Each structure stands twice: as structure tokens, then as C-alpha cells.
Amino acid sequence: MTVAAIVVSYNRKDLLRRCLASLEAQGDVLDEIILVENGSTDGSPDMVREEFPSVTLCETGANLGGAGGFAFGLQLAIERGHAFGWLMDDDADPAPGSLARLVEVAQDSELRPGFIAASVTDDTGTAPNPGHPAIFDPDAEKQVRATAVGGVAVTQATFVGVLVDLGLARTMPLPYADFFIWLDDAEYTRRLASRSIGVYVPTSIVRHPAKPASAANPDMAGRLFYYVRNHIWLSKLYEGAGAWEGSAVVKALRVIGFALRMFPDSRSKKTWASALVRGLWEGLARNPRPVMPGEFTPTGSISGRG
């Protein structure tokens, strides 16, 4: 059984350096580090080549977003024959031994989880990160199975330290690259859990910077488009509703309410309105495109371990 870490990076060189150093410190349990470099302009690729020559560096040549980056990284890990992929952003900082604990759970032949989620904390490693909660699974049978390995059954998790079964992943579409940012992890882990079981392991720690309370309702500017559209897409994908009925419309009304609360703090009212209207239209009228492993074809180059 082999494990590849899959890191997606964009213009956070110092945090990326810390992340890669922590990954290398995981020891022999980690077989390869795949870095999907999303077109950084801060010198990150050169730093990786100089300081972490064993890392497989995938330069996309463009910003694919977190969603496209993880789709690319998962596809590469599958093509290279790895059994599991350990996903995280470049600002994640896995604690020593965190992967080994996840692998223990992954090796349980009876449990066979689709994903195993680490506990995401703040930078100190002691307090939970409120921005990355795993969602409790109400299925009693799954809870019994998860408890047997010291975990908790969950229906979804974040792409911060989540270990994915690539045997299962190769049978279904990759994370939807069309999401670009936000909710691609919720959608993909839900899909994995629906076909198997998701397990949260509190003794595996991945540190991740927590947003300050003052940033609770920031001006998203143009990124409001992704927030609105992706929430509607997620509702359509998992509630089975058509574009103009049921839960999709309910979700649309809720994100409109969220956007209205943000309006007074928006620096550009024109940008706010454009992002909201485009997000509603694309969310209700369109759907993300499913792409199977082997069919995702971004341009770019791969170096390092090759």
C-alpha cells in the first residue's frame, strides 16, 4: 500500500515551505509528495526545486483553483498506482505522526473507508479550527464501525488532511473542477461517503491557520459568484431537485439573504450585483461537468520524481 500527499499551492511560498517540511517529516509511511503548482508568481516553483528536490512538481501554467488542482493531483496519484491520496492546501501543517494514524484506520480490512479525515486545528494544534468541521453521520451502524477504530463516522470533510481511497476514487468522477474554489471538498467527500463510509480521526492533527473573528463577513467582491453558484450546485447535486424547483430555489433564496447582509460592506456595489446575478444564473441554469480520472487534461509540466 502506498500513499501520495497531494498539495495544491498558489502564491504562499513560506507556508508551502512549512507544509512540505512537515510532510517530509512524516517518514516512510508517505511514499510521494505531489505538488500541484497553480501558476504562482512568488517564486514557489524555484523554491521547491532547490529545497525539496524529491517532490513531484506539477506546474499547471494557470490557476485551476483548488478544485481543479485537487482533481489534477488525484488523477496523477491514481495513474501512478498509489492506494491513497492525502489532500491538503499549502497552508496546512500536519503534526508529526498524523499520517501514520490515518493509515492505521485505512488498513482496517473490514471498515474500508472512502475517506479518513484528520482533526483540523488552529496553528497551535490545540484548539479546533471552526472553519473546517467534519459533519457527523446519523447512521448508527456506521458509527459503531467507526468507533471500533477510535473514530467517528462523518458524511463530509474538508480537503485539509483528508486521506482518500484511490481505489474508490478511480471509479467515480474527480472533484468537480468547475467549482474552482469552495465546496468542492464537501461535494467530493459526500460522494465518497455515500459509496462507503467517512471516518474522522481526532488523534490525527493537521494545523491550519484560523480566520480571525473580524473576518466573519468579509467583502468577497467577485468571489461572491463562486459562493452563490457553488452552494446552489451542491444543493442540486445532493437534493435531487430541478433547477427551478424544490431545494435549489430554497438554497438560492438563502444565498441571496447572505449576499444582502454583505451588501453594506461591499466596496463595489456593481461588482456585488454582477457576482450575485451571475452566481444565481449559473447555479440554477447549469451544472458542473463530471470528469473521470484520466480525462482531465490541463496543460503544464511535471518535474522532480517524474
| Sign of the CA dihedral with 68 first, then 74, 76, and 78 last | negative
Split at pLDDT 50, 70, 90, the class of 118 is very high
Cβ-contact 304, 57 below 8 angstroms? yes
Following DSSP, what letter does each residue of 220-288 receive, concatenated? -GGGHHHHHHHHHHHHHHHH---TTSHHHHHHHHHHHHHHHHHGGG-S-HHHHHHHHHHHHHHHHH--P
pLDDT tens-digit profile of 225-258?
999 999 999 999 987 544 444 588 889 999 999 9
pLDDT mean across residues, the chain: 93
Split at pLDDT 50, 70, 90, the class of 87 is very high
Split at pLDDT 50, 70, 90, the class of 67 is very high
Residue 4: other Cβ atoms inside 10 A: 24
Mean pLDDT of 159-172: 98
DSSP code at position 25 = T
- pLDDT reading at 194 higher than 90: yes
Following DSSP, what letter does each residue of 109-137 receive, concatenated? TTT--SEEEEEEE-TTSSSB-TTSPPEEP
Mean pLDDT of 10-21: 98
Angstrom distances, CA of residue 69 to CA of 34, 139, 229: 11, 32, 19
What is the reported pLDDT for 239? 73
* Helices and strands, number each (H, E), in the chain: 10, 11
The phi and psi torsions of 290 (rounded to 5 degrees) equal -75, 135
Split at pLDDT 50, 70, 90, the class of 298 is confident
Mean pLDDT of 259-283: 95
Residue 281: other Cβ atoms inside 10 A: 14
Split at pLDDT 50, 70, 90, the class of 185 is very high
Angstrom distances, CA of residue 253 to CA of 244, 265, 281, 283: 12, 20, 13, 12
pTM here? 0.94
pLDDT tens-digit profile of 128-149?
998 888 999 999 999 999 999 9
Give 28's contacts (C-beta < 8 A, 6+ positions apart).
none
Split at pLDDT 50, 70, 90, the class of 68 is very high
Mean pLDDT of 284-294: 96
Burial classification of residue 289, based on how many CB atoms lie within 10 Å of its CB (0-12 exposed, 13-18 middle, 19 or more buried): exposed
Angstrom distances, CA of residue 211 to CA of 11, 65, 130, 301: 18, 20, 9, 33
